[in-house]
């Protein structure tokens, strides 16, 4: 009997269940194809089922790459006798393998795959996850594991937020004092940490194996208190706004003071001393070295919440840094505030709300800024905070997380939004993609990361990958399919949030 709707997330472009018996996965099935993909499939199937296939020319599971179709697309066919996955490229083949793993079902006949034909391709080019390693630091193993689980949902970008008021997290040989003096602590006085150049290479190598691009971010001109610990002459005195005092009252951590590590969670008080030759030399060193260390096309320059920077200085900074990055041969990415000042071609990252983009003066300004990126030939990454900020509490009584983005973000809210309707005047073709973000003010451990990222990352994954209009693209359809991912997540040791919105069953 054909399976009605298989538990696939993100849902593929076209799924055709076939009549006919399922494929029984037995240890003698064997697999053939490109070496990396064969190894990937063997590992993924072993992790899920305990069955370790062998690589043999005469195999019943065939993998190949044929160069036909959109980037990252694939075709998958299963019948009683054989499985074939054909990728347009190596990334497409890897996505097909992830789909195959989601199709595996355990029953009386052991592990089987339903007879099925799937044709699939992503809706958006950019499907990302941002991890803030500045508010709390996470070691390489946590990051590589997250890469694996994000790639399983067909994400293809890892954005690392590598610096903030609380710490600088990447060693640079041009500026060794940054990690010597500004990486020792995290929010709440927790231990800090940093990546060596070798660690950074290891993260990139792992991401590359998973067909993911790493985008590193050095945030400025705000979010730079830590820079002043290493180089006092580069930092302006903290600007203590009423908003900063409110945050100090609500969350503690003390008032930021120059030269002292900051362990609270207020934002918007720090600024580089723009216009000085020292700052210009610093930025040239930092972005120059980062460009050399990073094989991917993008460098993120931050640009958010610079409340301690005068408008003219802010514009000068954004213009200068985005030109610097462009001259280094990379494409700059910036938070949406930077729109009016960024060099042509800069990608804008939107972090406003899904539903608050009309009406207020601030919303109108944000919209105008996003259009500026597009006018300059850049595109837009959508990270609406009340849908894809994974640091928002999943429920009011959840132990971890913040609530500023319009209260808690349920799984349903993380799923119910449509990119092409998020920002007036930003059309489908202006959108590079979707990126979920895990800020880590309240997130301290790998277990915390799991509990906040899963299951809501799956919503962002489906919104970034799946076609907008499909019968399965409903909240009810999604929550049922999402429940089907539970057993695989449990087998992989992911401590996901067992949200009561999802019919998890025994998984
Ligand atoms: C806003 S969104 C920030 C971050 C915080 C986050 C907490 C954005 C570009 N900036 O500095 O960590 O809220 O949710």
CATH of the domain at 380: 3.20.20.80
Query: Which atom of ligand 1 approaches the CA of 351 most closely?
Result: 2
Task: Indicate which residue of 217, 305, 435, 472 is catalytic.
Answer: 305
Taking a C-beta distance cutoff of 8 angstroms, is the pair 423, 357 a contact? yes
Mean pLDDT in residue range 215-234: 98
Q: Does 133 fall in a domain?
A: yes
Q: Does 354 fall in a domain?
A: yes
Are residues 354 and 451 part of one domain? Answer: yes
Query: Which atom of ligand 1 approaches the CA of 132 most closely?
Result: 12
Mean pLDDT in residue range 7-26: 97
- pLDDT score of 4: 61
Last residue of a domain, one of 121, 156, 187: 121
Are residues 156 and 116 part of one domain? Answer: no
Are residues 165 and 83 part of one domain? Answer: no
Last residue of a domain, one of 121, 142, 166: 121
pLDDT band at 3 (very low <50, low <70, confident <90, very high): very low
Q: How far apart are CA 23 and CA 284, in angstroms?
A: 57
Pocket flag, ligand 1, residue 350 (CB < 6 Å): no
- pLDDT score of 365: 87
Q: What is the DSSP letter of 23?
A: E
pTM tops 0.75: yes
Are residues 141 and 77 part of one domain? Answer: no
| 48 pLDDT above the threshold of 80 | yes
Mean pLDDT in residue range 210-238: 98
Give the closest residue to 442 by CA, choosing from 415, 404, 410, 411.
Answer: 404
Active site residue 217: no
- pLDDT score of 2: 42
Q: Does 214 fall in a domain?
A: yes
Are residues 420 and 370 part of one domain? Answer: yes
Residue bearing the CA closest to ligand 1, atom 9: 304
Tokens (6 digits) for 502: 């999802």
| 244 pLDDT above the threshold of 60 | yes
- pLDDT score of 357: 53
**How many independent structural domains does the chain possess?**
2
E strand map for 343-443: 347-350, 380-382, 431-438
Are residues 185 and 255 part of one domain? Answer: yes
Token pair 């809501």 in the structure block, residue: 456
For 336-367, the pLDDT digits (tens) are 999 999 999 999 999 999 865 566 788 888 88
Are residues 179 and 104 part of one domain? Answer: no
Mean pLDDT in residue range 187-210: 98
| 415 pLDDT above the threshold of 60 | yes
Are residues 277 and 254 part of one domain? Answer: yes
Mean pLDDT in residue range 2-18: 87
Percent of the chain with pLDDT over 90: 94
- pLDDT score of 359: 66
Q: How far apart are CA 265 and CA 189, in angstroms?
A: 11
Is pLDDT larger for residue 3 or for residue 202? 202
Q: Does 482 fall in a domain?
A: no
Tokens (6 digits) for 98: 């992830």
Q: Does 415 fall in a domain?
A: yes
Q: Which residues contact 271 (CB under 8 A, 6 or more apart)?
A: 221, 222, 224, 235, 236, 239, 306, 308, 309, 313
Q: Does 477 fall in a domain?
A: no
Q: Does 49 fall in a domain?
A: yes
| Structural domain of 306 | 126-472
Pocket flag, ligand 1, residue 391 (CB < 6 Å): yes
Are residues 330 and 423 part of one domain? Answer: yes
- pLDDT score of 184: 98
Percent of the chain with pLDDT over 70: 98
Pocket flag, ligand 1, residue 454 (CB < 6 Å): no
Q: Which residues contact 403 (CB under 8 A, 6 or more apart)?
A: 392, 393, 396
Pocket perturbation via mutation, ligand 1, pick of 267, 404, 443 by most ligand atoms within 8 A of CB: 267
Q: What is the DSSP letter of 132?
A: E
Taking a C-beta distance cutoff of 8 angstroms, is the pair 111, 25 a contact? yes
Backbone φ and ψ for 218, nearest 5 degrees, come out as -110, 110
Q: What is the mean pLDDT of the chain?
A: 96
Q: How far apart are CA 171 and CA 164, in angstroms?
A: 14
Taking a C-beta distance cutoff of 8 angstroms, is the pair 300, 334 a contact? yes
For 271-329, the pLDDT digits (tens) are 999 999 999 999 999 999 999 999 999 999 999 999 999 999 999 999 999 999 999 99
Are residues 141 and 97 part of one domain? Answer: no
């Amino acid at each position: 009997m054909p399976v009605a709707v298989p538990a696939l997330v993100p849902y593929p472009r076209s799924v055709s269940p076939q009549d006919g018996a399922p494929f029984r996965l037995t240890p003698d099935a064997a697999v053939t194809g490109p070496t990396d993909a064969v190894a990937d499939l063997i590992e993924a199937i072993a992790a899920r089922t305990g069955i370790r296939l062998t690589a043999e020319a005469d195999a019943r599971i065939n993998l190949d790459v044929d160069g036909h179709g959109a980037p990252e697309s694939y075709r998958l066919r299963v019948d009683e006798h054989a499985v074939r996955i054909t990728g347009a490229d190596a990334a497409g083949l890897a996505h097909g393998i992830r789909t195959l793993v989601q199709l595996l079902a355990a029953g009386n006949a052991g592990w089987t795959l339903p007879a099925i034909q799937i044709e699939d391709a992503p809706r958006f080019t950019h499907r990302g996850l941002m991890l803030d390693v500045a508010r709390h630091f996470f070691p390489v193993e946590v990051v590589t594991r997250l890469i694996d689980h994000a790639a399983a949902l067909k994400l293809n970008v890892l954005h690392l937020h590598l610096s903030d008021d609380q710490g600088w997290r990447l060693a640079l040989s041009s500026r060794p004092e940054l990690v010597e003096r500004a990486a020792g602590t995290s929010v709440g006085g927790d231990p800090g940490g940093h990546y060596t150049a070798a660690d950074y290479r290891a993260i990139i190598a792992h991401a590359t194996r998973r067909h993911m691009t790493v985008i590193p971010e050095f945030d400025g001109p705000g979010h730079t208190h830590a820079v002043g610990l290493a180089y006092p002459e580069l930092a302006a005195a903290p600007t203590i706004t009423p908003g900063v005092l409110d945050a100090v009252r609500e969350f503690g951590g003390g008032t930021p003071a120059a030269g002292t590590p900051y362990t609270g969670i207020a934002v918007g008080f720090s600024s580089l001393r723009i216009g000085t030759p020292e700052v210009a030399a610093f930025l040239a060193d930092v972005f120059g070295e980062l460009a050399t260390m990073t094989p991917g096309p993008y460098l993120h320059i931050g640009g958010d919440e610079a409340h301690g920077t005068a408008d003219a200085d802010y514009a000068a900074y954004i213009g200068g840094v985005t030109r610097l990055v462009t001259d280094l041969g990379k494409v700059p990415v910036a938070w949406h505030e930077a729109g009016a000042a960024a060099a042509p071609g800069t990608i804008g990252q939107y972090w406003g709300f899904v539903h608050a983009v009309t009406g207020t003066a601030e919303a109108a300004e944000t919209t105008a800024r996003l259009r500026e990126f597009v006018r300059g030939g850049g595109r837009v990454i959508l990270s609406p905070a009340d849908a894809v900020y994974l640091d928002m509490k999943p429920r009011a009584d959840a132990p971890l997380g913040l609530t500023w983005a319009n209260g808690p973000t349920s799984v349903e809210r993380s799923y119910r939004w449509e990119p092409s309707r998020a920002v007036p005047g930003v059309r489908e073709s202006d959108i590079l993609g979707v990126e979920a973000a895990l800020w880590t003010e309240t997130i301290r451990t790998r277990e915390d990361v799991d509990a906040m990222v899963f299951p809501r990352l799956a919503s962002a994954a489906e919104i970034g990958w799946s076609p907008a209009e499909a019968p399965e693209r409903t909240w009810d359809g999604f929550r049922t399919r999402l429940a089907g991912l539970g057993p695989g997540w449990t087998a992989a040791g992911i401590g996901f949030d067992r949200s009561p919105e999802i019919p998890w069953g025994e998984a």
